[in-house]
Each structure stands twice: as C-alpha cells, then as structure tokens.
C-alpha cells in the first residue's frame, strides 16, 4: 500500500513507525494475551503504559517538578470551560489575546463563567499577524492571560511569549506542542488536543502548575482539576487506546532526537514550502505576515478562484491529501505537523512550482 502524503489539519498524520509498532502489538500488549483496548484501566499493564506516557512527556518537554500532567477527555474545547471554572475566581478578570477562531471560542466560554477582557487582537486585519507582546494591555491583577500559540486556520504562530509576572500565562498549544523547545516554567497552564502532534483524537494533555490546582466542591467532578490530579487522570475510564498511541508517539519523538531535532526538521519543512510562495512573483500569496508565519500550518491563496480549484483538483489527483483551506476562509493550507516527513513537504513544493509554471504557460497561450 502506498501511504498518502497527508497534510490534514487534524486528525493529522501519525508517524509510520508508530502505526507499525501498534500493528505488531495489536493482539498482544505487554504479553497480556489481549489488545490494549481490552485491558482494564486499573490493570498493572495499562498503568505502566499510562505512567510511561506522562513520564516521557515530562522528559521531552523538561517539565519542572512543580507541574502536573493530566490526560483528559473532551478535547481542547472542553478546556475553554475548565480553565475559567477552576482558576477564574470571583472578583478577578481573565485576559484574552485574540489571534484566530480558537481564541474567540475560548473567550466565548470564559465569558459564561466570569469577567473577561480582550487585551490584544489582530481580528481587524483578518488575523494575519500575532500582536506584539508590548501591545498587550494586560491587567497585572488578572486571574490569567490566555493565548493560542499557533493558529491553524490563519497560519500564524507566536515566536515570542509575553512575560506575565505573577499572572499565570495559559496557552492552547494544540497545534504546535512538541514542535519546538519552550520554557514550561513561563506558563501556568499548557493544554493541547493530541490529534495534531501528539497522537490520535480523543485525548487532551493538560500541563498545569500545581499551585493552580485547588479544591472547589462547587465544580462538577469531571471538570475539576483537583479530582483528576488526585486520581492520576484515572478518575473515570480513560481513552486507553488513545493514551497507548500517545505513549508510542512520545517514544518516537525521543528516537528522532527529541524536541530540538524535531524543531530543526520542522523549520526545513516550512522553508521548503514558503520558499515556493515567496519566489512565485505573487502567484501564491501567504495569508500570514512574514514575522508571524507558522511552522505548522502554511496558508496561502492563488490568483483566482478558478486557479485555486484547479490546484486543489490536481494536487489531490497527485496523491496529496488535506490541502483545502478551512471552510471559514477558503484558500489552501498545508499542515506540516511533526509526523509529516520532510520528503512530503519537498514533494509538495515541487508540485506547487510545476503547477505554477504550467498554469502560467497556459495563461500566456490563451492571451
């Protein structure tokens, strides 16, 4: 079977080596005589898998001892509610930086819980850039400052994170976690749906500073960080298959040379495609401003709607998957998460160049 060149935005590509290992262990995990999907989540075999995933993530991201790693359900979208429910106290305000649709959705849910404020935004310019950290009008007494580190729909990414002092910095890193080295100690909470860089859909990683985990009997148990922390994320039946695959992806990341090596490859992948855009004389136009470009989601348009339709038709016929832009803005998008091979990005870049040359030659003949 020939593997698709998968540029889907999420659920996204998984490393081939991970899928092959899962296939080999499919019927007999840890010599149990069972598939991982059949294991009790209270069994020693699954507990080993569960704890290995948590420990490997701590190692890869160099997570300090005063942080907890929780493996939860509900996607990053549930965190839009859980975060304010747990740490937005009465009399406090939560500050939000708007850089795209997901930060808008996070703000919408927080408003239902307590007082919020937008302290910086690039909405007026169709989210083509990340606001400068010096332009953030943060309240020094805020409950937290929320950002979305990478914006999948618009193709923008934070290159510098705001220094927030005593205010916890909360980041939705669903689409760029583990893609580059970060200083976890600068954040109060990092959360991420797994289905882009960490594994399959169905599991959400929450990295939270322990002092932000407080007992509050008024919060429903399934939405309470304290409950999940006390139970090692095993308060209820977890998505065991997703956690197992998360564990395998983290092992794969270590085998690649860790986060620093992965970041180097990601930079090469992004450069291959952006170089085609930048040298196309305007045939391909990137949505994001240069200084805010994402290394995870390359968004671009073509000169006309007709050219775009033709490009998307031909690129699909050539074996590339998932190049359509998000339905809300259209255009094209190449999502080049950790598991997308460099060779696939180079092949896409070559296709883009070939398509431009053929299209322009045809246009010249027509006129």
Task: State pLDDT tens for residues 285-318.
Answer: 999 999 999 999 999 999 999 999 999 999 999 9
Clarify whether residues 183 and 74 are in a common domain: yes
Clarify whether residues 251 and 310 are in a common domain: no
Task: Give the pLDDT score at 2.
Answer: 83
Q: Which of 44, 69, 67, 14 is nearest to 242 (CA)?
A: 14
Q: Give dist(CA 197, CA 339) in Å, integer.
A: 7
Could you tell me the residue range of the domain that residue 34 belongs to? 16-255
Sole residue written with tokens 């339905």: 327
Task: Give the pLDDT score at 366.
Answer: 72
Pairing verdict, β 93-98 and 144-148: parallel
What pLDDT digit, counting tens, does each position of 176-229 carry?
Answer: 999 999 999 999 999 999 999 999 999 999 999 999 999 999 999 999 999 999
Clarify whether residues 61 and 176 are in a common domain: yes
Clarify whether residues 278 and 251 are in a common domain: no
Q: Give dist(CA 123, CA 126) in Å, integer.
A: 5
Using 70 as the pLDDT threshold, list the residues of the chain that sit under it: 367
Query: Which of 206, 237, 255 is the endpoint of a domain?
Result: 255
Residue 236 lies in a domain: yes
Query: Which of 203, 233, 255 is the endpoint of a domain?
Result: 255
Task: Give the pLDDT score at 364.
Answer: 79
Q: Is 181 considered catalytic here?
A: no
Query: Phi-psi bin for 150: left (phi > 0), alpha (psi -120 to 50), beta?
Result: beta
- The catalytically annotated residue of 58, 102, 158, 176 is 102
- The catalytically annotated residue of 58, 172, 176, 252 is 172
Clarify whether residues 244 and 266 are in a common domain: no
Q: Is 102 considered catalytic here?
A: yes
Task: Give the pLDDT score at 367.
Answer: 62
Bond before 11 cis per omega within 30 degrees: yes
Q: What's the CATH code of the domain at 176? A: 3.40.640.10
Clarify whether residues 247 and 268 are in a common domain: no
Q: What's the CATH code of the domain at 262? A: 3.90.1150.10
Q: Do residues 120 and 173 touch, judged by C-beta distance below 8 A?
A: no
Residue 3 lies in a domain: no
Clarify whether residues 111 and 185 are in a common domain: yes
Residue 305 lies in a domain: yes
Clarify whether residues 105 and 225 are in a common domain: yes
Clarify whether residues 48 and 154 are in a common domain: yes
The number of folded domains in the chain is: 2
Clarify whether residues 110 and 200 are in a common domain: yes
- The catalytically annotated residue of 58, 158, 176, 196 is 196
Clarify whether residues 228 and 279 are in a common domain: no
Query: Which of 255, 276, 308 is the endpoint of a domain?
Result: 255
Residue 53 lies in a domain: yes
User: What does the block give as tokens for 2?
Assistant: 């020939």
Clarify whether residues 213 and 282 are in a common domain: no
Residue 70 lies in a domain: yes
Q: Which of 85, 291, 94, 260 is nearest to 178 (CA)?
A: 260
Residue 241 lies in a domain: yes
CA angle 15, 353, 362 (to 5 degrees): 135
Residue 10 lies in a domain: no
Q: Give dist(CA 297, CA 176) in Å, integer.
A: 9
Residue 7 lies in a domain: no
Q: Do residues 212 and 227 touch, judged by C-beta distance below 8 A?
A: no
């Amino acid at each position: 079977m020939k593997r698709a060149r998968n540029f889907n935005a999420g659920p996204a590509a998984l490393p081939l080596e991970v899928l092959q290992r899962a296939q080999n262990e499919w019927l007999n995990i840890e010599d149990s005589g069972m598939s991982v999907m059949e294991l009790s989540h209270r069994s020693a075999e699954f507990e080993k898998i569960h704890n290995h995933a948590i420990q490997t993530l701590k190692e890869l991201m160099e997570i300090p001892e005063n942080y907890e790693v929780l493996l939860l359900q509900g996607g990053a979208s549930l965190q839009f509610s859980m975060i304010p429910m747990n740490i937005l106290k009465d009399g406090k305000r939560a500050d939000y930086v708007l850089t795209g649709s997901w930060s808008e959705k996070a703000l919408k849910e927080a408003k239902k819980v307590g007082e919020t404020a937008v302290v910086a935004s690039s909405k007026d310019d169709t989210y083509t850039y990340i606001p400068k950290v010096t332009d953030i009008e943060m309240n020094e007494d805020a409950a937290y400052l929320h950002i979305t580190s990478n914006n999948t729909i618009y193709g923008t990414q934070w290159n510098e994170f705001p220094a927030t002092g005593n205010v916890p910095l909360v980041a939705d890193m669903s689409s760029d976690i583990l893609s580059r080295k970060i200083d976890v100690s600068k954040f109060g909470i990092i959360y991420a749906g797994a289905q882009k860089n960490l594994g399959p859909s169905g599991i959400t990683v929450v990295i939270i500073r322990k002092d932000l985990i407080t007992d509050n009997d008024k919060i429903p148990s399934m939405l309470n960080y304290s409950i999940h922390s006390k139970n090692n994320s095993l308060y209820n039946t977890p998505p065991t298959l997703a956690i197992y695959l998360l564990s395998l992806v983290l092992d794969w990341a270590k085998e690649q040379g860790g986060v620093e090596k992965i970041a180097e490859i990601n930079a090469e992948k992004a450069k291959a495609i952006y170089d085609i855009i930048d040298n196309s004389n305007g045939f391909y136009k990137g949505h994001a401003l240069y200084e805010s470009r994402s290394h995870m989601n390359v968004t671009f348009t073509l000169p006309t709607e007709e050219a775009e339709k033709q490009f998307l038709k031909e690129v699909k016929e050539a074996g590339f998957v998932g190049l359509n832009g998000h339905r809300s803005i259209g255009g094209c998008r190449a999502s080049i998460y950790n598991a997308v091979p460099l060779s696939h990005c180079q092949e896409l870049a070559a296709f883009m160049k070939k398509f431009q040359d053929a299209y322009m030659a045809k246009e010249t003949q027509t006129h």
